[in-house]
Amino acid sequence: MEEAQFDQYASDYESALQQGLSVSGESSDYFAIHRVRWLKRRLASREPTRQRFSQVLDFGCGTGNSVVHLLNELPAEHVTGVDTSAQSLVQARLRYRPEQATFYLSSDQTKDTVMELAYCNGVFHHIPIDQRAEAIRYIHQRLIPGGWFAFWENNPWNPGTQYVMSRIPFDRDAIKISIPNAKRLLSQNGFEVVSVDSCFYFPKFLSWLRSTEPMLAKLPLGAQYMILARKL
């Protein structure tokens, strides 16, 4: 990821992001909370007796927008956020108490295998193609055996996604990653792909159709997709 680019947007990340998301009629928080809720449902179908996750890794956490939902919705006892942007982490640390979440530069975070779940959203399209396998291995090293990885990305097969990203300053030149390429990346670097879901089909003015989205999840056409994988 490009550290200088995201340092530049650390203080006004939300406004830059909203330049694109405004097309949907929703705020970034709408998508953030629904991603975590979707993940929670998928995990519940795999581990119905689990009540909480003690340690969660938020890879590419930025200013910490997902952390509150990981804490409250998943729920997680503690989140460790890592990112390459030092200025984004400054903003994140202002939002959470240390007992809730701690934040590190990815180059500083230890390799201790303690995380039960890793989560990332919209990170890998900012990572150069030749560095993506290394990033997957970074996550793999920090998960306990059998740990989960929720890999969320923007879907290049969705025309709306293409348009939204073209309106966001830091996404315009990003190299998108398709579902087949993401599955291959995970499978070649120590993960078993458990499920693939495609989400966010309808903008706000068609919100009355959103109840049908679970039925559309296996079509690879939503604005974003989630690959749920497990460490082998």
Q: Which domains does the chain have, with CATH numbers?
A: 3-231 (3.40.50.150)
Return the CA Rg of the chain. Answer: 16
Choose the weakest-confidence range: 84-98, 99-113, 149-163, 199-213.
99-113
Structure confidence at residue 1 (pLDDT)? 45
Tens of pLDDT, residues 78-113: 999 999 999 999 999 999 999 999 999 988 877 788
Q: What is the DSSP pairing of strand 224-231 with strand 143-154?
A: antiparallel
pLDDT at 5 over 70: no
pLDDT recorded at residue 112: 80
Helical residues (DSSP H) of 25-178, grouped into ranges: 28-46, 67-72, 86-95, 132-142, 159-167
Query: How far apart are alpha carbons 22 and 219 in whole angstroms?
Result: 25
Cα dihedral 176→179→182→183 (10° resolution): -170
CB 204 within 8 A of CB 171: no
> What tokens were used for 154?
């923007």
User: Is residue 128 packed enough to be buried (19+ CB in 10 Å), middle (13-18) or exposed (0-12)?
Assistant: exposed
Q: Say yes or no to pLDDT of 2 above 60.
A: no
Predicted confidence (pLDDT) at residue 214 exceeds the cutoff of 90: yes
pLDDT tens per residue across span 122-134: 999 999 999 999 9
